[in-house]
Structure 1
Amino acid sequence: MTLAPVGACVFDAYGTLFDLGGIPRSVRVELGDRADTLMRVWRRRQLEISWLPLRPGAHADFWRVTDEALDFAMEAVGVDDRRLRLRLMEGWLTPAPYAEVAKTLGRLREMGYRTAILSNGSVRMIEGAVAAAGLGDRLDAVLSAEKVGRFKPDPLVYQAAATHFGLAPESVCFISANAWDVSGAAAFGFQVVWINRDDTPAEKLPLGTRATVANLAELPIILGR
């Protein structure tokens, strides 16, 4: 399926451009199979906290959310190691990009599309990941929910991308591996592509998905060029 014409391609970060698998691998020697369990619990708790209404006076700080979620995950799997905890947190600053990311972003720029990241990650987290991956010259913008003061799927976060590019929502292609994010972006009005890297069964979400791909290398084809 091809999409209607768009002017920009906006990407979620974690699980979409950046592979979080390196984080549990970094502590597998110490934790064995518990490394994967810890990561699953951690990621789930991180998202659950971000979906809660913000406390009065609180700002959208995904680094803090990630830190709080790690405390929960380490207790859940019975781990108490401050040095290991530090390594786990630092992993969010330098996640490796998926193999096809750099080439695909470059191809999209050659095709005339503007490109951006729109992530719940804090400015520090996302800019650190982009710099570590060497993707800065392949992106027109790195947009963090921190600047909006809300987390996705709040429509104000998606609006930040449309406003940045001066485009109507339907003129933005939004790409994410997270079903809840896909649903939120589609409800906002973006043309949404879901990346199903693990060939998992389709959920009742994502709402309004225009296309599904196995990896980003398929995106130029989906865009109809």
Structure 2
Amino acid sequence: MILVFDINETLLDTAALTPLFEKIFGNAAVRGEWFLTLEEAWMTTTLAGRYLPFGLLAKSALRQTGLRHGVDISDDHQRQLLDILVTLPPHPDTAPALIKLRAAGYQLTALTNGTLDAVQCQLEQAGLRDLFDVVLSVDSIETYKPSPKAYQYVADHWQVSPRELVMIAAHGWDLIGAASAGCMTGFIARPGKVIDTQLFEPDWHADSLTTLSQQLMADVKA
């Protein structure tokens, strides 16, 4: 069983962006609006058969958010956004859980919608890079998650069936995409993240990576 991890919000805490949004908009809640705009952007480009790098979409989402609120977004604001994104801190449970999973013999893969350079920087800054066997980016195939092609890319890398992968994320859309490709799925209910189990039921569901890891290991032993 190969574990595949989403990065932003799942392992790294995007709440570190809050001061920037408070400074620009005077309202920390606008951070959520920006992220939804960013998600809309990469899903739209994927559905349209196009591809633009994550950094360009992140800056565009910030400019669009500014237009909605009548706030001028400067080049410096956009630079600060990208600078903070590559230095996000890990959630407190991230490193301990990954260490235990690695010690238990699991192969750990990072899969991000960001670029490979950016995610390598993120994981190095967070002290997590050495915990992963491999780090992959959809930038290599120019197709964003939740396209099934993104998860097949991981399976092809490991030369296994997608059925041998467990996609772990704090986003329901990510897990629905993974399941459609044939993967098993694990949902982490990070703050503000929910999943409608009447629409989609992940294989594992927990409020922390610690608990999710315990569930995984217990099921494998059983």
TM-score in terms of structure 1 length: 0.87
Aligned to 1:17: 11
Give the aligned length. 217
Contact 1:183 1:206 in 2 (8 A): no
1:11–1:176 contact (8 Å) kept in structure 2: yes
TM-score, normalised relative to structure 2? 0.89
Q: Take 1:150 and 1:205, find their aligned partners in 2: how far apart are those partners?
A: 28
CA distance in 1, matches of 2:78, 2:36: 17
List per-residue Cα deviations over 1:106-164 (Å, max 9, x = no partner).
11110000101111111122111111101111001111010011111111110111122
Amino acid at match of 2:66: M
- Counterpart CA distance in 1 for 2:100 and 2:199 is 26
Give the partner amino acid of 1:41: E
- 1:17-70 residue CA offsets vs partner (Å, 9 max, x unmatched): 1111101224535643x2321x12211111111111459895341111111111
Q: Sequence identity, in percent?
A: 27
Structure 2 residue aligned with 1:210? 203
Q: Distance in 2 between matches of 1:191 and 1:57?
A: 26
Query: 1:77 aligned to 2:62?
Result: no
Contact 2:155/2:165 (8 A) holds in 1 = yes
2:98 — aligned with what? 105
**Higher RCO structure, 1 or 2 (CA under 8 Å, sep 6+):** 1
CA contact (8 A) 1:11 1:174 kept: yes
Query: Deviations for 1:146-196, whole angstroms, at most 9, x for unmatched residues?
Result: 001111111111011112222221211110101111111111111101111
C-alpha change, 1:148 and 1:201, in structure 2 (3 Å) is closer
In terms of mean alpha carbon deviation, does 176-185 or 120-129 score higher? 120-129
Identify which of 86, 91, 98 aligns with 1:93: 86
The equivalences for 1:44-55 within 5 A come to 44-54=36-46
The answer to whether the 8 A contact 1:19-1:98 is kept is: yes
Between the aligned partners of 1:54 and 1:101, the Cα distance in structure 2 is 29
Where do 5+ consecutive residues of structure 2 fail to align? none
Q: Is the 8 A contact 1:183 1:208 kept in 2?
A: no
Q: 1:193 to 1:23 in 2, by over 3 A?
A: same
**Aligned position for 2:125:** 132
Query: 1:1-225 maps to which residues of 2 (within 5 A)?
Result: 7-29=1-23, 31-32=25-26, 34-37=27-30, 39-54=31-46, 58-82=50-74, 83-198=76-191, 202-203=195-196, 207-223=200-216, 224=218, 225=221
Work out whether residues 187 and 208 of structure 1, in 8 Å CA contact, stay in contact via their aligned partners in 2: no
Specify the SS of the correspondent of 1:207.
coil
Name which of structure 1's ranges 82-91 and 157-166 shifts more when overlaid on structure 2: 82-91
Q: CA deviation at 1:91?
A: 1.4
Shift of 1:84: 3.1
Query: Please, which runs of 5 or more residues in structure 1 have no aligned partner?
Result: 1-6
